[in-house]
Structure 1
Amino acid sequence: MEQFTLPDDFFFGAAMSGPQTEGEWNTGGKLENLWDTWSQENLSDFYNRVGSYAGNAFMAKYQEDLRIMADLGLTTYRTSIQWSRLLDEDGNINPEGAAWYHELFRASREAGLECFVNLYHFDMPTFLFRRGGWESREVVEAYAAYAAKAFAEFGQEVKHWFTFNEPTVEPEQRFQAGVWYPKLHDFGRARVVQYHISVAHALATANFRAAQADGTVRADAKIGLINAFTPTYTRENPTPEDLEAVRMMGGINNRWWLDLITKGELPVDVLDTLAENGVHLPIRPGDAEILKQGVVDWLGCNYYHPTRVQAPASKVDEYGLPRFADEYVWPDAVMNESRGWEIYPEGLYDFGIDVRDNYPGLEWFVSESGMGVMDEHLHRGDDYRIEDPYRVDFVRGHLEALARAIEAGSPCKGYHYWGLIDNWSWSNAFKNRYGFVEVDLMDGYKRRLKRSADWLREVATTHVVK
């Protein structure tokens, strides 16, 4: 098999989040967040009735997990501060929550790991959701204040900050597709949420710049945003209507965020089409100036699968809401049957070239990439380790696409795998396992390296991909 080499300064790391790993959901002064609320109201919505209390026991096992990451040759990892753990209902620092994050950052440094810190990973405090959530400008301002508190508390410890993880996902899953609590179906409200998250990002970024200017945040710190980017494709020999579907779906999910973080504005063609279809955003006087402050230092790209679309059969969906595209099923698609997602490494190359050509100077890294598989316990070898060559094939293919993009001039700086250690994943709980490291729920959350971990260690330490 052909081998290739990634640059010497290319970093390897792991991706995780606070609500999916920490556990201890109601200890240490932590407030209830939406996942906790949903788990209490309807636990049967979660796979095997495993709700938000689970995580993967990271708060109890963080020292072991940091050692595992370092032993595998990783130099960085990303997690999130939980808004509901750091602050109390009055918006003041919760001392126990702050102490946990101070200890985590200290232990990370001791382990030789740079911790990338994200401020929001779908885990809004429930009391704020009940005040309107992302549909409320009051909550937008509360988020900006939370970000300022975090910068002040950890500004000398953290070098890499991010405002949001996948801001395109929560509007879709909570407000449009009706998958996440409270399971709404309203395209217009989803776009209001998306707009307000954009304003919240810009306000937090402005607070970061101010904190850095006055010395609260270290001078070498950077601010970024992480989004799930799904390069958008249609069928061969497309109709004008197919290309219109690509424009709008790519505009809402991809260009919206790329334009915001590089130009401080939203794509006018997308906003115009939304307005023509009765979707009006709650734009206030002065918002254009706020959005201008949303330009970041670099970008995290979460990439799992492409989006394939074609012209919609109807201009409205079953709820009477605007519909801009239907799914196009590509006959040559290779699928991860466990997750129902297409495996298409070439999409990562295409994203890299899009950044190079249309957003020159924007440094980026792969902030999530991973393969979730059901029933991995059926793949145990004689030594009880899980045999997962499919995971090696998945990551090798994506690294190869990245290497070609870098060679072609795309400024990609690193790769974070999701989730290096099996973790709880929203309503799917532990249905699909992503890790190079197994978490045994039947044995006290015990960690065991899967066979793929041997391959990862060699790649991370040599930068040679075989």
Structure 2
Amino acid sequence: MAQYELPQNFFFGAAMSGPQTEGGWNTGGKLENLWDTWSNEDISSFYNRVGSYVGNDFMHHYKEDLALLKDLGLDSYRTSIQWSRLIDQDGNINPEGAAWYHELFRASREAGLEVFVNLYHFDMPTYLFRRGGWQNREVCEAYANYAAKAFEEFGQEIRYWFTFNEPIVEPEQRYWHGVWYPRHHNFQEACEVQYNISIAHALAVSRYRELYRAGKIREDARIGMICNFSPSYTKDDPSEADLEALRMNDGLTNRWWLDLVTRGKLPADVIKTLVDDLGIVLPQRPYDEAVLAGGVVDWIGCNYYQPSRVQAPSKTHDEWGNPLFAEPYIWPERVMNESRGWEIYPKGIYDFGMKCKNEYPELEWFVSENGIGIEREYLNKDPETQQVMDDYRIDFVRDHLTWVARAIADGARCVGYHYWGLIDNWSWANAFKNRYGFVEVDLMENYERRPKKSATWLKQVAETHVVA
């Protein structure tokens, strides 16, 4: 088997989020967020009726979990501050919430782990959602206030900040495809939300720059955004209609954010199609060009799970009257993760790296999420040790890291890798259906942590930087 070596300054870590791990959903002054609201209103929407309440009980296991990360050879991890825990309903710091994050960051330093802090992971406070959520420009301002409060509170502790995780997901899941609460199917609303999230990001970055210049943030700090980039592909012999589907799919999901964080503007061809051709009304205000110009970041995270394969749609609108830009193209050679229904295509991370090299050459990035979720992993346990034998996870990560190494060798500015869900965590409406971790969480035994077979392999790679 061929071996690939990653640079010695390449960092290895883990990714998680506040709402999926912390627990304590209504303690310490925390306000209700959308996941709590959905759990309270319709617990049957969640796999095995496991709602947002406990996560993986990180607030009670954080010292153990940090020790686990360090023992596996990792040097960093990303989590998120919960807006609903840090800020009260008047827009001020909640002292109990701030104390929890100060303690977490202190314990992380003591464990020798760098913390990457993301400010928003799909967990809007419910009272702001009821004022219109991301459709309301005032909520964008409230987010910028929250971001500024976080920067000031933790500015001397945290070096790496991120405004949003996967900003395309809420427009799609909540407002267009109707998968998440409030389950709307309205493309006009989705576009309003996507536009205003872009504004909120830019406002937060501008506040960061102001506070940085004022000395409120450490001198070596950096700010970025974390996006789920799915390289877009179509048929080998595409028609003009297939290429048009590719343009809009890539434009809405990839180029929109890449242009925003590198150029401070949104892709003109996509805006033209939305506004001139489809009649979408974006909530634009005078001087928004100047606002968006403030959204340029220092680097980004790339969440990569699967490619996006599209072809020309067979009809112009869906059953709710929304425009259709593309429909899925089933690649004859695809390999699937049947548990998740996602294609496994490790070369996609290489192709993303080459896209950045060629189209955004100054942009530094890291793999901020990558992982494989498998249903009913307990069936794969060794009968004697009861350890999960997850060779498929080793294969998945090895294949992706191999393509990362090849991308770096070919000029990609990729500087690190964070695995998603190093410790099994709650995953939205899927709850604990698909397990991602190198470390098992036993829900029947007080959330006990147990390393899987893959953990030994990960430790060796993280410590040697050799992918084998």
Q: TM-score range by the shorter chain?
A: over 0.9
For residue 421 of structure 2, the aligned residue among 419, 422, 437 is: 419
Shift of 1:361: 1.3
Shift of 1:321: 1.1
For residue 403 of structure 2, the aligned residue among 369, 383, 401 is: 401
Residue 57 (structure 2) aligns with: 57
Asked if 1:221 corresponds to 2:221, the answer is yes
Residue 247 (structure 1) aligns with: 247
Percent identical: 67
Matches within 5 A, 1:52-91: 52-91=52-91
Asked if 1:343 corresponds to 2:338, the answer is no
For residue 460 of structure 1, the aligned residue among 430, 453, 462 is: 462
The letter of the residue matching 2:347 is: E
Shift of 1:68: 0.1
Residue 151 (structure 1) aligns with: 151
SS at match of 1:439: strand
SS at match of 1:294: coil
The letter of the residue matching 2:349 is: L
Residue 442 (structure 1) aligns with: 444
SS at match of 1:417: strand
Shift of 1:280: 1.9
Distance 2:375 2:344 in 1: 16
Distance 1:448 1:252 in 2: 40
The letter of the residue matching 1:359 is: Y
SS at match of 1:223: strand
Residue 174 (structure 1) aligns with: 174
The letter of the residue matching 1:262 is: T
The letter of the residue matching 1:181 is: Y
Distance 1:372 1:196 in 2: 31
Q: What CA deviation, in whole Å up to 9, does each residue of 1:16-74 have, x standing for no partner?
A: 00000000100000000000000000000000000000200000000000000000000
Asked if 1:287 corresponds to 2:288, the answer is yes
Matches within 5 A, 1:9-408: 9-275=9-275, 276-381=277-382, 382-408=384-410
Distance 1:54 1:346 in 2: 36
Distance 2:252 2:393 in 1: 31
Q: What CA deviation, in whole Å up to 9, does each residue of 1:187-244 have, x standing for no partner?
A: 1110110000000000000000011000001111000000000000001100000000
Distance 1:227 1:190 in 2: 17
Q: What CA deviation, in whole Å up to 9, does each residue of 1:124-150 have, x standing for no partner?
A: 000000000000001000000000000
Q: What CA deviation, in whole Å up to 9, does each residue of 1:294-323 have, x standing for no partner?
A: 000001000000000000111111111111
SS at match of 2:434: coil
Q: TM-score, normalised by structure 1?
A: 1.00
Distance 1:265 1:351 in 2: 20
Give the ranges of 4+ consecutive aligned residues of structure 1 lying more than 6 Å apart after TM superposition. Answer: none
The letter of the residue matching 1:238 is: P
The letter of the residue matching 1:104 is: L
The letter of the residue matching 1:225 is: M
Q: TM-score, normalised by structure 2?
A: 0.99
Shift of 1:407: 0.2
The letter of the residue matching 1:14 is: A
Shift of 1:175: 0.4
Q: What CA deviation, in whole Å up to 9, does each residue of 1:52-105 have, x standing for no partner?
A: 002000000000000000000000100000000001100010000000000000
The letter of the residue matching 1:10 is: F
- Stretch deviating more after TM superposition (126-135 or 324-333): 324-333
SS at match of 1:90: coil
Distance 1:19 1:4 in 2: 36
Distance 2:115 2:124 in 1: 22
Distance 1:238 1:63 in 2: 53
Distance 2:273 2:341 in 1: 30
SS at match of 2:294: helix
Distance 1:126 1:169 in 2: 18
Distance 2:14 2:355 in 1: 25
Provide the alpha-carbon RMSD of the alignment: 0.5
Structure 2 runs not aligned, ≥5 long: none
Structure 1 runs not aligned, ≥5 long: none
Aligned length: 466
